[in-house]
Amino acid sequence: MLEIAGSVITIDAMGCQKDIKSLIIKKEIDYVLTLKGNQKLLYQAVK
């Protein structure tokens, strides 16, 4: 296991998958995700 407390994690579009995103949120980790245009509703909401 990595010691990531207090860190900001970056992850590519793979991190937008529900299982991965849920784990990140559950662990209360600060994160930055890459968002691609094929995630139409989310992309429009962010834009």
Q: Render 17-39 in DSSP notation, one character per residue.
A: SHHHHHHHHHTT-EEEE---TTS
Task: pLDDT band for 1, please (50, 70, 90 cuts).
Answer: low
Question: How do residues 7-43 score in pLDDT, each as one tens digit?
Answer: 888 888 777 788 888 888 888 888 887 877 887 888 8
6: pLDDT strictly greater than 70? yes
| Cα R_g (the chain), whole angstroms | 12
What is the reported pLDDT for 23? Answer: 82
Give the pair of three-digit tokens for residue 6. 């207090």
pLDDT: which is higher, 2 or 45:
45
pTM above 0.75, yes or no: no
